[in-house]
Amino acid sequence: MGCSKWRAGFNFGHLKAQSKLSVFLTMIIIFTYLFYCLSGYCDSLPRPVYDQQTTFINKILGLNDGLEQKKIDAHKNSSPGSVVRELPGFDSVDSLLQGNDNELRPDNNISIANNLGSKTFPQAIIIGVKKGGTRALLEFLRIHPDVRAVGTEPHFFDRFYDNGLEWYRNLMPRTLESQITMEKTPSYFVTKEAPRRLFALSRHTKLIVVVRDPVTRAVSDYTQTLSKQPGLPSFQSLTFRNSTTGLIDTSWSAVRIGIYAKHLENWLRYFPLSKFLFVSGERLVTDPAGEMGRVQDFLGLKRVVTDKHFYFNQTKGFPCLKKPEGSSRPRCLGKSKGRPHPQISPEVLLRLREFYRPFNMKFYQMTGHDFGWD
């Protein structure tokens, strides 16, 4: 009997000791945590990704604890896409990154849209034409918060097709469900294999072709090449296969690209006309807002890009984007755009215009639109 009482007492004492030890260890952990927090260590602990993104936005915008800060905080309970679209004073985070190259660079600052979403194949592609105004169109479209586009030309369907689809997909920016992915490679329009290759990937891709008076386009093309190759033969000598007979050399790319009807025939073997939008390069200069309205409608986008975004640069001779809030300068295309054209003999230009006339007429019929080049 005495032995049993001794064992019970021992067990009870052992349990009490264990309980005291547990309490003691718990108190040590709590005091250690409090000590580190008071020392400022807790501030360096990782926060939720969404909070980090909010802090990033606040730093860019320079927000304080006032009304604008409350608006940003209110978005914590809304969808990520609404944050991207509704930042005060800006059309997209991309415009922040591009607005002042000296302060913010995409290499060092990741936008929200790059932290969220997924990489998908483009739903729309600007497939042509070279020197037609494709760069201007892409830059104008990038103002739209629901458009995400590759900055450089991928050239997947003409040069790098053997690299595979995953290589192509990885070139794309991350997009949200409410956004569309785009790219531009003007040489697709004149590449024989491009429509078949694109059709094999997706028959639902929307195709945008920026076209321009083929004579003016040819001169612009020559001007660009001449700036890189000062020893280039004259425009006249490259245009004519035989100067005596006046036979046009259609093997010269500057001439061949402008035969739009021929290239469109190749694309129409795979895609219906309803998948195309033909943008006037001339109207993109004289009425950028109007032409951008057509583009946004074609892409199923709200008309966000309007005349309030543009002003005409008299020096360059084409429209530029007004400077975003917080930027020190407006956004114009680079020095390579708007070069002065060399003097070309009027007789040469007239002969070239006569050559293009039947092709232009056929192109007007195919597209159902008279571009007024003749």
Catalytic residues, by residue number, are: 131
Q: Is 122 annotated as a binding residue?
A: no
Q: How far apart are the first and last CA of the chain?
A: 121
Q: Is 155 annotated as a binding residue?
A: no
74: CB partners within 8 A, 6+ apart: none
Give the DSSP letter string of 322-346: PPPTT-SS-B---TTTTPPPPP--H
Q: Is 133 annotated as a binding residue?
A: yes
Q: Is 339 annotated as a binding residue?
A: yes
Q: Is 340 annotated as a binding residue?
A: yes
User: Where does 83-184 show beta strands of DSSP type E?
Assistant: 118-119, 124-128, 147-149, 174-175, 180-184
Distance CA 187, CA 256 (A): 12
List 180's β-bridge partners, or say none.
Answer: 147
**Does 129 sit behind a cis peptide bond, omega within 30 degrees of 0 on the bond before it?**
yes
Q: Is 187 annotated as a binding residue?
A: no
Q: 209, 207, 232: which is closest to 222 by C-alpha?
A: 232
Distances (CA, A) of 52 to 30, 55, 59, 69, 84: 27, 5, 11, 14, 14
Specify the residue for token string 């939720």: 48
Distance CA 184, CA 279 (A): 14
Distance CA 193, CA 75 (A): 47
Q: Taking a C-beta distance cutoff of 8 angstroms, is the pair 181, 133 a contact? A: no
Q: Is 196 annotated as a binding residue?
A: no
Give the annotated binding-site residues: 131-135, 212, 220, 337-341
Q: Which residues are annotated as a binding site for 3'-phosphoadenylyl sulfate?
A: 131-135, 212, 220, 337-341
